[in-house]
Amino acid sequence: MKYRPDIWWVCVGCMLLATSLMAQMDVFAPANDVSFAISTERNDYGRDIITVKYQITDIGKGPLYVPRGFEATACVERQVGPHIWGGFENSAGQHFEPGYARSCGGTPGAPLPTVTERMSRVAVLLHPGEHLDGALKLDPGMFHLPPGAYRIRAVLHGWKDSQFSGEEQIDLAKLGNPFLSGDVTASTNITLLSGGLR
């Protein structure tokens, strides 16, 4: 039989494509496998900082990894923005979201952590019915918002397959449970008062 290098390369390409597709199917779970809810301690606020509590619950049929808050992920996933972030929306639909910054130290020349080491620091495994609780803080004074009715809107961002190479996805698939992908939004209504309320 005559050697056909063109067929060999086609076979290699097919195997790589199949491996990549298999890794994507095993590595990521859709956003509708979780519920995401937020709440505040009260409905009326002055110029004080608002603590927004959130809860991520696994409502799917199997376990999956969900992201921790910004403090835990900021210096580990440097190329990724916050997984859980929020802001204000007024009655006209205008959005007011704070920026974010991080100050991360490091040791020059130190080996970079593997993808599984990184993810073990930024993800939490939830089984069906289990939840992860956390909080973020929003400062209405940052935007000089006038008194009135507002909606606090928060978004839970999962991971994207484009953040990982094919080899990294294969390594993540070996962990045995998928990682949340896609976005889930939650909101709650508040009223900002003209004076400070404590």
CATH code: domain of residue 12: 2.60.40.3880
By CB neighbour count within 10 A (0-12 exposed, 13-18 middle, 19+ buried), where does 154 fall? buried
CA distance 104 to 100: 13
The predicted structure's pLDDT at residue 18: 47
Task: Give me the phi and psi of 147, to 5 degrees please.
Answer: -60, 150
Q: Tell me if 173 is assigned to some domain.
A: yes
Distance CA 23, CA 19 (A): 6
Are 64 and 126 in contact by the 8 Å Cβ rule? The answer is: yes
Residue 52, domain extent: 5-192
- Residue 153 is predicted with a pLDDT of 97
Domain-embedded: residue 127: yes
Specify the number of domains making up the chain.
Answer: 1
Q: What is the pLDDT of residue 7?
A: 56
For residue 195, give every residue at least 6 positions away whose Cβ sits within 8 Å of its Cβ, in sequence order, or none: 46
Per-residue pLDDT of the chain (198 residues; tens, 9 = 90+): 565 555 545 555 555 554 444 444 479 999 999 999 999 999 999 888 999 999 999 999 999 999 988 666 655 555 566 889 999 999 999 999 887 655 565 556 666 778 898 888 889 999 999 999 999 999 998 888 999 999 999 999 999 988 899 999 999 999 999 999 999 999 999 999 986 444
For residue 180, the cross-strand partners are 29
CA distance 76 to 22: 26
Asked if the structure places residue 198 within a domain, the reply is no
Examine residue 157 and state whether it is found in any structural domain, yes or no: yes
Quick one: how far is CA 178 from the chain centroid? 14
Nearest to 187 by CA among 41, 88, 44, 69: 88
Assigned domain for 197 exists: no
